[in-house]
Amino acid sequence: MSATTPAQRRALAQSLPPLRDDDRAAIEGFLDAFWAETGSAQQTNDAYRRDLEGLARWRDGRDGGVVHADRAGLFDYLAWRTRHGWSSRSNARLLSALRAFFAHRLRTQARGDDPTALLDPPKLPRSVPKALGESEIDALLAAPDVSTPEGLRDRTMLELMYACGLRVSELTDLPANGVNLRQGVLRVTGKGSKERLVPMGDEAQHWVARYLHEARPALAGGRSVPTLFVGTRQQPPTRQQFWALVKRHAAAAGIDPARISPHGLRHSFATHLLNHGADLRALQMLLGHSSLSTTQIYTLVAREQLKRLHATHHPRG
Look up residue 110 and give its amino acid. A
211 is catalytic: no
CATH number of 6-107: 1.10.150.130
In terms of Cβ atoms closer than 10 Å to its own Cβ (0-12, 13-18, 19+), residue 16 is: middle
At 154, which helix (H) or strand (E)? helix 149-164
263 is catalytic: yes
CATH number of 134-313: 1.10.443.10
210 is catalytic: no
316 is catalytic: no
162 is catalytic: no
167 is catalytic: yes
Which of 9, 153, 167, 249 does the annotation list as catalytic? Answer: 167
Give per-residue burial for 226-257: e unless 16+ CB within 10 Å, then b: ebbbbbeeeebbeeebbbebbeebbeebebee
Which of 24, 130, 187, 263 does the annotation list as catalytic? Answer: 263
Contact 208, 199 (CB under 8 A): no
Which of 57, 105, 266, 272 does the annotation list as catalytic? Answer: 266
What's the order of all strands across the beta sheet hosting 195-199?
179-180, 185-189, 195-199
Q: What is the mean pLDDT of each run of 10 residues along the chain (317 residues)?
A: 71 90 94 88 90 95 90 90 86 91 93 87 62 88 96 95 85 92 86 79 92 96 93 89 91 87 76 70 63 56 53 51
Give me the pLDDT at residue 192, please. 73
Which of 49, 71, 191, 196 does the annotation list as catalytic? Answer: 191
Q: How far apart are CA 180 and CA 116, in angstroms?
A: 47
Q: How far apart are CA 23 and CA 66, in angstroms?
A: 6
Give me the pLDDT at residue 285, please. 63
- Tell me how far apart the terminal alpha carbons of the chain are, to the nearest angstrom: 47
Give me the pLDDT at residue 165, please. 81
